[in-house]
């Protein structure tokens, strides 16, 4: 859960988010190395310790051609690996469908016949003590912990976006189209997200809440909700 003084990412709660944070740190280190090298060369040129005559300097041209290529490879390889991991969906344990509306979400557990519900934001007047304003909903998504979850996202009216930052998930909800992604929660907990596509006047009032729980708790909850 983010707070008002936080500058970095939320704590990772899925393997994908852990990889994204590592890639972010890797890219920052590459950018820091480039800035340091450029500043060092500028300092040498300003102090006249390095000749600024680069006409027909084949060695310099070779260096400034090879170095950017190496930097691009250093960034492209881990990036492609993460993209492949995010798109890989192999035999999920549970499939969940999220449908965006103005301005709430509908969830369907497609592996269960009658398990579906609407999820609205709780008004501040109905908010229980200790819960987060503008983030809590009347019906949370319950998923089993450490299980591959596939989520299919679409919309009923306009563009929406289903996003949970701590899980590294952000998928556009487009009317007439199905997008899918997958994630695994590595620990129990409650994870908050919001619609990340400006979808109208109440765009800021359609939060997403995912609760990761042990498998037995999920089975009990699904049985009660289906009955």
Give the CATH number, domain containing residue 220.
Answer: 2.60.40.420
Q: What is the dihedral of CA 175, 178, 182, 185, to 10 degrees?
A: 40
pTM of the model: 0.81
Q: Which among 87, 105, 137 is the end of a domain?
A: 87
CA 82 from centroid of its chain's CA atoms: 12
Regarding whether 142 and 33 lie in a shared domain, the answer is: no
Cβ-contact 107, 154 below 8 angstroms: no
Whether 10 is covered by a domain: the verdict is no
Give the total number of structural domains in the chain.
2
**DSSP conformation letters of 84-111:** HHHH---S-SEEEEEEEETTEEEEEETT
d(CA 74, CA 78): 7
Cβ-contact 156, 101 below 8 angstroms: yes
Q: Which among 87, 110, 140 is the end of a domain?
A: 87
Q: Determine the structural domain holding residue 28 and report its residue range.
A: 15-87
The set of residues, in sequence order, having a beta carbon less than 8 Å from that of 74 and lying 6+ positions away, is 26, 30
pLDDT tens digits, residue range 14-63?
Answer: 888 889 999 999 999 999 999 998 898 888 777 776 665 555 667 777 88
For residue 104, name the pLDDT band (cuts at 50, 70, 90). very high
pLDDT tens digits, residue range 111-125?
Answer: 877 788 999 999 988
């Amino acid at each position: 859960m983010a707070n008002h003084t936080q500058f970095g990412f939320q704590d990772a709660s899925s393997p994908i988010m852990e990889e994204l944070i590592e890639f972010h740190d890797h890219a920052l280190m590459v950018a820091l190395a480039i800035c340091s090298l450029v500043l060092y060369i500028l300092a040498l040129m300003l102090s006249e310790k390095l000749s600024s005559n680069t006409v027909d300097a084949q060695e310099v041209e070779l260096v400034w051609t090879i170095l950017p290529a190496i930097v691009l490879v250093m960034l492209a390889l881990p990036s492609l690996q993460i993209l492949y991991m995010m798109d890989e969906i192999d035999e999920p344990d549970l499939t969940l469908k999220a449908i965006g509306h103005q301005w709430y979400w509908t969830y369907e557990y497609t592996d269960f016949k009658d398990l579906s519900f609407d999820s609205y934001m709780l008004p501040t007047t109905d908010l229980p003590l200790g819960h987060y304003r503008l983030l809590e909903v009347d019906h949370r998504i319950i998923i089993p912990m450490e299980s591959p979850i596939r989520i299919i996202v679409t919309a009923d009216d306009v563009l929406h976006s289903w996003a949970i930052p701590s899980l590294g998930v952000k998928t556009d909800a487009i009317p007439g189209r199905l997008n899918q992604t997958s994630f695994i929660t590595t620990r129990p907990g409650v994870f908050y997200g919001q619609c990340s596509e400006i979808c109208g006047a109440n765009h800021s009032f359609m939060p997403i809440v995912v609760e990761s729980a042990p498998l037995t708790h999920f089975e009990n909850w699904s049985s009660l909700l289906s009955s």
